[in-house]
Amino acid sequence: MTIRISLACALSAWCISANAQTIKTVPFKDGVHAYAVIEPEQKPRAILVMFIGGDGNLNLVQRGSLSGINLLIRMRPALEAAGMKLLYVDISDRQFSRSDAEYARSVGKMIEQENSEKLPVFVAGISRGSISAANVASRVPVSGMILLSAVTGSTYDGTVRDAPVADISAPSLLLIHNRDACVSSRSESALRSFARDMKKSSSTVIVLEGGSDEGIGAGRAAACHPKSYHGFSGIDTNVADTIVKWISSVTK
């Protein structure tokens, strides 16, 4: 892996280029907030800002590259092929809560740093990453919000309702699997209630089927694993196609 400092990343940021990825940072408190940038081969049609679930720690600075089994990472090839510029936002060492205003402002700096072409910007979060996406969508101007297996039931990270829901005005796509058994996201009625409460947002709720549950882990944690129905295991392409078609419909 080649590591180099690049002025193209601006004076406030450093970059590591590896495997068609660039790891960048923006200043945060007494340190930095890292994210990975994936550029499509063709001219990008939109920017997708991605928030994985779990603790959100991609460990980008230490690893120097993006890896993982989360759906948002598994969909990378399909989304790249569709012309999406992808930003994967890291959370290292529990720097902040997903629902903090300061966290949203930090992501806003990333978007500003990456969007010199003034592309449409969409935020996408799965599981606990949905809390991050809702927070950013409520505080930063975006073209749309995509929530997958949104956390509508309580976790120690909170729920999507911790964001000022009334301030979310961008169109939203809410995806849920009909066999999601994760206690924090399995309620379709709770998801539809959340959609109704976003009174300024035009919301689309889609229930997906199919795929597989690999049964990784034990007890309640297994139902929330990235390779379960909660993580849309086995239907990555279908999910990516659904997202791309929806983005096309709201950016006409």
The full set of domains in the chain, from first to last, is 7-250 (3.40.50.1820)
pLDDT of residue 64: 87
Closest CA to 49 of 41, 37, 57, 40: 37
Question: What does each of the 252 residues of the chain score in pLDDT, given as a tens digit?
Answer: 222 223 334 333 444 444 478 999 998 876 789 999 999 999 999 999 999 999 899 999 888 889 999 999 999 999 999 999 999 999 876 667 899 899 999 999 999 999 999 999 999 999 999 999 999 999 999 999 999 999 998 767 789 999 999 999 999 999 999 999 999 999 999 999 999 999 999 999 999 999 999 867 777 789 999 999 999 999 999 999 999 999 999 998
Q: What is the pLDDT of residue 214?
A: 83
What is each CA distance from 85 to 50, 68, 77, 156, in whole angstroms?
Answer: 10, 18, 11, 31
- From the DSSP assignment, how many helices (H) and strands (E) are in the chain? 8, 9
CB 243 within 8 A of CB 147: no
Measured between alpha carbons, how far is 224 from 194 in angstroms, rounded to an integer? 20
Residue-level pLDDT at 125: 98
Residue 59 is which amino acid? Answer: N
Phi and psi dihedrals of 144, rounded to 5? -175, 165
Angle between helices 129-139 and 101-114 (to 10 degrees): 80
Give residues with Cβ within 8 angstroms of 32, minimum separation 6: 13, 25, 26, 61
Specify whether the CB–CB gap between 172 and 203 falls below 8 A.
yes
At residue 238, the pLDDT reads: 98
